[in-house]
Amino acid sequence: MYGTSSTARRLLVGEARALLTRLDRVQPFAVRETMLPAAALSPAAQIGIERTLVAGRRELKGRLHGYLAWLDGAGAEAAPAEMQRRFTALRWRFNDVLGQFDLFQQTITQRSEHEIGLWLSGMDVAAADALDVPVRPFDPPPLVCYLDRGPGAAIRRAKTRLPGGGSSPVAIVRVPRERMVGGYGLSASLCHEVGHQGAALLGLVPSLQAGLRARAGGPGGRLPLPWALFHRWMPEIVADVWAIGKLGVTATMGLIGVISLPRRFVFRVDPHDTHPFPWIRVHLGVAVGELLHPDPQWRALGALWSALYPVEGLGSEGRALLASLTSAAPELAELLVSHRPYGRAELSPERLFRPAERSPDRLVALYEAARRRPELLDRAAPTLALAALGQARAAGLVSPEAESRRVERLLRGWALRSTLATTAVCARRSSPAVRPVTHRKTAPVGGGLPRVMPEEESWHR
């Protein structure tokens, strides 16, 4: 037994030291990633990520050194199985630490790519603006964006569990590369995913689900089928409402671009999916849009969607379900718009998003004014600028090509201006002669002044 323990000890000492060697090669992103200054993360995001990863590496190193000390002392005569059990636990933790590193690496490495880095930095600014609501106190986290393959966007919300434990210091928004072809897709995906973070911070989903049960609950608390489905879909419905509140018709037009699928998928109902099936999802958005941003365009959009995917050919059961859902949609929309979560009027969509400021007429007026004075869009809040461009495209005032070029210019401008604002903060701290600036990550808004932007386990699609 002594010979076996000695052999096991030598093997596992070597393995533990190898883990330490590999761990020492994991360097902070600040000294390993090259990128344009305008493509960099906000200081709050950079610091939060680095601190999280440093803490994980420090904790693991301590445990590895403790294990080696145990092997040199009390564990020298331990059974090989006990030596292996302890080492296996450390190796699992080692893989978790590297997994956390890889999770953040993709979001940062892409910022060294030509053009992509500036787009991502501009998207960070737009995402921060999408999360900016007139609620106090409100402490939103830093947001960072990156591109990936696949048809749908997703978010890993801040303060949710990381692989192996701990919580994410930032919200990570994943946007499909194919969404970068124009303003519709990019802005809709971005605002929907940010809506998940905003809803979580404000507790909107459970409050709305409780309001839904109070309104539609029958004997014994049972919900009729349409309302039972709305209850299950509420996390995605609220995120769609958030996007419509920020973008108007641009949000629903962007959604159509994602869910324009073969007919069998558009009508397929998955009893376990939290997403409304595509056909009804558009009609729910139309019902909400008619209340938040009244305009004949919503009814026309609903009719267009029904023409693209007519219900003819469906079985009687399927058509009955669609009829019950569409008849209940206006009442659901009224609940979504008028509900006061926890009795707080400022948490209703009408107060959160100030829809009168983003009515179709005002958005078109902003676009028309910006044709003569392009700086008006540059200075507008990012989501307002994106909403104006999307509304103009929906009205046939701008081509897809021109819209795409304008969105790219906006992203680059937001990236540059936020970087200059951050540089001004650094300059103030190094020189008392510089005028104090209190914000940390900025985006342009009306009047050309910097706007204060927020600092700071699962993906939501």
Tens of pLDDT along 167-219?
899 999 999 888 776 678 899 999 999 999 999 999 999 999 999 999 887 66
Tracing tokens 């630490």 back to the chain, one arrives at: 97
* CA 106/CA 141 separation, integer angstroms: 19
Distance (Å) of CA 236 to CA 105, 175, 244, 276: 28, 17, 12, 8
CA nearest 94: which of 51, 70, 63?
Answer: 63
Count H helices and E strands in the chain, helices first. 17, 6
CA nearest 2: which of 85, 76, 82, 53?
Answer: 76
pTM given for the model: 0.84
pLDDT at 26 over 90: no
Residue with the bigger pLDDT between 330 and 105: it is 330
> Which residues, at least 6 apart from 183, have a Cβ–Cβ distance to it below 8 Å?
250, 386, 389, 390, 393, 403, 404, 406, 407
Tens of pLDDT along 97-120?
888 888 888 788 888 887 888 999
Contact in structure between 301 and 181 (CB atoms under 8 Å) = no
Position 21: which residue type? T
User: 278-281, long-range: CB within 8 Å, 24+ apart, which pairs?
Assistant: 279/305, 279/309, 279/322, 280/322, 280/325, 280/326, 280/329, 281/236, 281/240, 281/255
317 confidence band (pLDDT: 50, 70, 90): very high
* Residue 331, token pair as written in the block: 């009442």
71-75, 225-229, 367-371: which range is least confident on average?
71-75
Contact in structure between 150 and 68 (CB atoms under 8 Å) = no
Residue with the bigger pLDDT between 102 and 284: it is 284
pLDDT at 306 over 70: yes
Tens of pLDDT along 253-275?
999 988 999 999 999 999 789 99
Residue with the bigger pLDDT between 157 and 444: it is 157
Average pLDDT over residues 214-243: 90
**Proportion of the chain above pLDDT 90, given as a percent:** 56
30 confidence band (pLDDT: 50, 70, 90): low
Beta strands in 54-183 (DSSP E): 143-148, 154-156, 171-176
Beta strands in 131-219 (DSSP E): 143-148, 154-156, 171-176
Residue with the bigger pLDDT between 375 and 452: it is 375
* Residue 369, token pair as written in the block: 């004014």
Q: Where are the domains of the chain?
A: 2-113, 203-352, 358-456
pLDDT at 441 over 60: no
442 confidence band (pLDDT: 50, 70, 90): very low
Tens of pLDDT along 398-407?
999 999 999 9
Distance (Å) of CA 121 to CA 15, 35, 141, 193, 412: 41, 11, 16, 17, 8
* CA 182/CA 7 separation, integer angstroms: 62
Residue 426: the pLDDT is 64
Residue 227: the pLDDT is 95
Residue 318: the pLDDT is 93
Residue 124: the pLDDT is 95
Residue 38: the pLDDT is 81
Tens of pLDDT along 122-167?
999 999 999 999 988 888 999 999 998 877 899 999 999 887 778 8
pLDDT at 67 over 80: yes
Residue with the bigger pLDDT between 438 and 85: it is 85
Residue 431: the pLDDT is 61
pLDDT at 437 over 60: no
Average pLDDT over residues 424-452: 47
* Residue 246, token pair as written in the block: 């920020």
384 confidence band (pLDDT: 50, 70, 90): very high
Chain-centroid distance of CA 320 in Å reads 35
pLDDT at 2 over 90: no
Average pLDDT over residues 426-430: 65
Residue 382: the pLDDT is 96
pLDDT at 443 over 60: no
The mean predicted confidence, pLDDT, of the chain is: 87
Residue with the bigger pLDDT between 219 and 396: it is 396
